[in-house]
Structure 1
Amino acid sequence: MRVVMFGYQTWGHKTLQSLIDSVHDVVGVVTHPTSDQVYESIWADSVEDLAREHDVPVHLARRPDATMQEQIQAWKPDIIVANNWRTWLPPEIFAHPPHGTLNLHDSLLPRFTGFSPIAWALISGAEEVGLTAHRMDGELDTGDVLTQAAIPIGPRDTATELVRATIDLIPGVLLEALERIESGTAQWRPQDLAQRTFFHKRHETDSLIDWSWEASDIDRLVRAMSDPYPNAFTYYRGERISVVQAHVSEGIYGGTPGRVFIREGDGMAIVAGPNAHRGRNHALVIDRVRSSDGTEYSALEYFPSGGGYLTADSR
């Protein structure tokens, strides 16, 4: 089939490479200009560079306009494939090809619709992540599903590891979906939108640790904000520190949430959780931190003894 690919960052790059390596004819690529926005500078493999290396025509755009619509019409695609295109597409574009637009979304729709699905899945305590190929419609990630693949979330997995794993799913899910569409065997499944969960873009504030959360919830937040993402953070005696690595304590600790308490193993136990004064909660054991100047320390280097509090601001 004649394919136009819409995409950006490593997700779009992997999708385009899969199409280039396939039996399909990539007749054009639409991608965004390079951005210095923090989340867009991560996983920044260039779709534009890959397309030009293979002499595939490229249209750069931040959002759809009349020029883009004219370019799509000139390319005469049988189908559009989209992965990590960052703005809404109108029906004049997504419904233009005979087979419409196949969108790839890195969650198991209808759950984790929207933005940063893997980070939010890990934070929320989901048991698995995955990749969905679905038909694009006029809403965000609500179209009929064609194929899905899932990956279980392990007890110590980080978002970084899960992103890499779901990116590796792209060739199989994409090419299976295209084969079914081309052969006329595609069976589209409407989403149960009553089960839809819709998450917003992550902001720096979303990574500020709330020590009234259960230690297991904070542990998942730390793993969701693993390098190279902006780490989960807190404040200690006026300094902002990033929590690079942590785990849930073996012991039960009581007191006030955020208290830098006592050494457990090679880490420092921080009192955490609701009703911590009742002494029924596990603590979060911090293993490694990064100071505001970028220096990384083991927890016991940074906290040589208990005392003081981790807080939500620099006061």
Structure 2
Amino acid sequence: MNLPPVSAVVFAYHNVGVRCIKTLLARGIQIKLVVTHEDNPAETIWFDSVAALCKEHGIETVTPSDPSTPELAAKVAAIGPDFIFSFYYRHMLPVSLLALAKRGAYNLHGSLLPKYRGRVPVNWAVLHGETETGATLHEMAAKPDAGAIIAQTSVPILADDTAFEVFGKLTVAAEQTLWHALPQLMSGTFTPLPNDLANGSYFGGRKPEDGRIDWSQSANQVYNLHRAVAPPYPGAFFEQFGYHFIIEKARLSDLSAANLPTGLHVVDNVIYGVCGDGRALRIIELRCDGNIVSAEELQQLTHVAG
């Protein structure tokens, strides 16, 4: 006997949204509607387009600024989807909307829940020096990232990984998590796991100003900040000599800098950022007021400023 096709309404954005929509299609799920975001012209768009993918596949898309409107609820209700999925969609979905999915509503979150619930979990994990993160498929609930866990896939965070590099791993982990979980979701044979919020953590969004470097912190703290916000994110920044600097690339250094004051220095034609614990970052690419500067150019700036 042929089973009726499984239908879904999908809320999606970013690379994770693109890969997970492709995964649903590959598993034979009929996507009746995709709700996504208009790209923000003030944001650096370094990721793939959900809207472009849907256009390629002939899937209807809408871009409401607020997913809790009666119009969207009526549209989803008319579809009567088996599932609602959220893949890196940036707004919370109201419980009344989630209830329109006959067989459940599920979100793909970029951490190993219950750790790092909330916004930009990859950036927070790198900032806190984690050595592992991952992707979690979970039931959606009234609170963010609080529903029962369906499946997880972990990825390593290497010592020099930036958040951008970790996000690439996470995108693959999200695809793998969804691919392996879908057969059980579709057959209704999955066993949800508890999402123990008491043993987890919640973090809000980050602003560019949060990338300001405090050189009095330890080298590990400053380096983790750099890795967490390195391009294509806005970058870790500071002001010195009357100029605005952004660190593009850096590594922890073995330089013994205990005799140097904190901040920028040029030693043997290499740029260093000296930190409060006497250790330093070797700065490979440094941007000054919009332009990449060499060690020689930085020395000239320092001389002029002095």
TM-score scaled by length of structure 2:
0.90
Q: Alignment partner for residue 185 of structure 2, among 175, 181, 187?
A: 181
Secondary structure of 2:205's partner? coil
Letter in 2 for 1:232: A
Letter in 2 for 1:271: V
Where does 1:53-132 land on structure 2 (aligned, <5 Å)? 53-64=56-67, 65-132=69-136
Say if 1:304 and 1:99 are closer, same or farther in 2 by CA, change over 3 A: same
- Give 1:84 deviation, angstroms: 1.4
- Give 1:262 deviation, angstroms: 4.8
Could you tell me whether the CA contact under 8 Å between 1:260 and 1:306 is conserved in 2? Answer: no
- Give 1:76 deviation, angstroms: 1.5
> Which residue of 1 is the match for residue 298 of structure 2?
303
Secondary structure of 1:251's partner? coil
Secondary structure of 1:86's partner? coil
Moved more, 242-251 or 64-73: 242-251
- Give 1:136 deviation, angstroms: 0.2
Q: Alignment partner for residue 271 of structure 1, among 265, 270, 274?
A: 274
- Give 1:255 deviation, angstroms: 5.0
Alpha-carbon distance between aligned partners in 2 of 1:306 and 1:217, rounded to the nearest angstrom: 27
Say if 1:124 and 1:254 are closer, same or farther in 2 by CA, change over 3 A: same
Letter in 1 for 2:284: D
- Give 1:112 deviation, angstroms: 0.9
Please list the CA deviations of residues 34-69 of structure 1 after superposition, one character each: whole Å capped at 9, or x if unmatched: 22242xx43442212221221112222111210110
Letter in 1 for 2:285: R
Letter in 2 for 1:242: I
1:32 aligns with 2:37: yes
- Give 1:257 deviation, angstroms: 5.2
Alpha-carbon distance between aligned partners in 2 of 1:305 and 1:263, rounded to the nearest angstrom: 14
Letter in 1 for 2:57: H
Q: Alignment partner for residue 202 of structure 1, among 202, 206, 215?
A: 206
Quote the sequence identity (%): 31
Secondary structure of 2:299's partner? coil
Alpha-carbon distance between aligned partners in 2 of 1:270 and 1:12, rounded to the nearest angstrom: 38
Alpha-carbon distance between aligned partners in 2 of 1:231 and 1:125, rounded to the nearest angstrom: 17
Alpha-carbon distance between aligned partners in 2 of 1:240 and 1:191, rounded to the nearest angstrom: 43
Alpha-carbon distance between aligned partners in 1 of 2:31 and 2:296, rounded to the nearest angstrom: 54
Secondary structure of 1:28's partner? strand
- How many residues in Structure 1 have an aligned counterpart in Structure 2? 298
Question: What are the ranges of 5 or more consecutive residues in structure 2 without an aligned counterpart?
Answer: 1-5
Say if 1:240 and 1:250 are closer, same or farther in 2 by CA, change over 3 A: same
Alpha-carbon distance between aligned partners in 2 of 1:42 and 1:301, rounded to the nearest angstrom: 33
Question: What are the ranges of 5 or more consecutive residues in structure 1 without an aligned counterpart?
Answer: 309-315
Where does 1:158-307 land on structure 2 (aligned, <5 Å)? 158-254=162-258, 258-263=262-267, 267-273=270-276, 276=277, 281-292=278-289, 294-298=290-294, 300-304=295-299
TM-score scaled by length of structure 1:
0.88
Say if 1:32 and 1:259 are closer, same or farther in 2 by CA, change over 3 A: closer
1:22 aligns with 2:27: yes
Alpha-carbon distance between aligned partners in 2 of 1:75 and 1:289, rounded to the nearest angstrom: 52
Could you tell me whether the CA contact under 8 Å between 1:6 and 1:30 is conserved in 2? Answer: yes
- Give 1:9 deviation, angstroms: 2.3
